[in-house]
Structure 1
Amino acid sequence: MKTMFLNHLMLLLLLSVAVSAQSADPEARLKALGIVLKKPARPTANFLLATRVGNLVYLSGHGPVKEDGEYVKGKVGEQISFEQAKEAARLTGISLLTSLKDEIGDLNKVKRIVKVLGMVNAVPSFDRHSQVINGFSDFMVEVFGENGKHARSAIGLGSLPMGIPVEIEMIVELKE
């Protein structure tokens, strides 16, 4: 009985280590989620999608890009529901990771997500901006585990470029 218990305990420990190792690999995690990061479209103005300073990568504001390459559009509380806005924040996370990977080559170089600014295009009476941006934050933890947790600000705005419901920028620390 004691041997069987120890064997089960050992099996659980090995499984735990395997799951932990997988979640520590953001590339494998994205693959398991069925997410393929494509080459990002280049900006049409004089700015960069991402730029490095030392071991930090600063990513410009990104919006929610759908599978077909088009942006999700609409104002939260008018054309876009709370749940749709939260999903738009998640899509924005995918867009940001696309630019990040293009800049650094491999998401396993990420040490942690440091700081995020989430902007929500919403009607004046809407007050759940931070819960919308949770769609992004939860996705970063899903991909990077504890290293995906970050400092964050979430604000509401009267409009965003091209009528998108969410725009997010972030700062990422790379491993030495």
Structure 2
Amino acid sequence: MAETTSTVEARLADLGLRVPEVVPPVAAYQPAVVADGVVYTAGQLPLVDGELPFTGKVGAEVTAEQAHDLARQCALNCLAALKHAVGDLDRITRIAKVGGFVASDPSFTGQPKVLNGASELFGQAFGDLGQHARSAVGVAVLPLDTPVEVDVIAHFR
């Protein structure tokens, strides 16, 4: 019997992307928690095969364009956590809220454009169901010196 692919994963495949394996926690938490029809992901770093492609502050060691791509990778890692929690991304009925953190040089003010990397991916993957509220916050430092971290609140059936 052939493995079926969710509609969401098929859309990602059309973009040349795939949902990675869930990123193991780097501390005392779960990748995602389900409560009352809502999935809350932990903050996801832009890890690729266990490694950070870039470290440092956006606007200094990392460009806004690089950080945009890192936010997209964070979103893919959020999808992995969502899938791990509910089993099939087609069970997601709404991406309700995206929280984004950007480790920023003090002069950098482009956090919203960086986080568009994640927001655009959720829209591409879920269509109208991927339209969400969002926070884009500049911070002094993030875990492992990552430039970007993203978390998601999603509803599912």
Alignment of 1:95-110 (within 5 A): 95-110=77-92
TM-score (norm 1): 0.81
Separation in structure 2 between the aligned mates of residue 93 and residue 111 of structure 1, nearest angstrom: 17
1:111 corresponds, among 73, 93, 96, to 93
Higher helix share: 1
TM-score, structure 2 normalization: 0.91
- Structure 2 CA distance for aligned equivalents of residues 134 and 27 of structure 1: 20
Whole-angstrom distance in 2 between the partners of 1:76 and 1:103:
31
Local SS of the residue matching 1:119: strand
Deviations 1:119-176 (A, max 9, x none): 000101100111110111011001100110101111100100001000111100002x
Large movers: runs of 4+ above 6 Å: none
How many Å separate the matches in 1 of 2:20 and 2:111? 28
Residue 138 (structure 1) aligns with: 120
Deviation string for 1:103-123 (max 9, x for gaps)? 111100010100111000010
| Residues 1:70 and 2:58 aligned together | no
Match of 2:137 in 1: 155
The size of the alignment, in residue pairs, is: 151
Gaps of 5+ in 2: 1-5
Cα distance between partner residues in 1 of 2:114 and 2:26: 28
Which sections of structure 1, spanning at least 5 residues, go unmatched? 1-23
- Structure 1's 174 and 63: CA in aligned 2 closer, same or farther, altered over 3 A? same
CA spacing shift, 1:38–1:135, aligned 2, 3 Å:
closer
Percent identical across equivalent pairs? 39
Distance 1:166 1:158 in 2: 11
- C-alpha contact (below 8 Å) 1:27/1:106 kept by paired residues: no
2:94 and 2:156 in contact (8 A); partners too: yes
* Shift in Å, 1:46: 2.0
Q: Does 2:105 correspond to 1:123?
A: yes
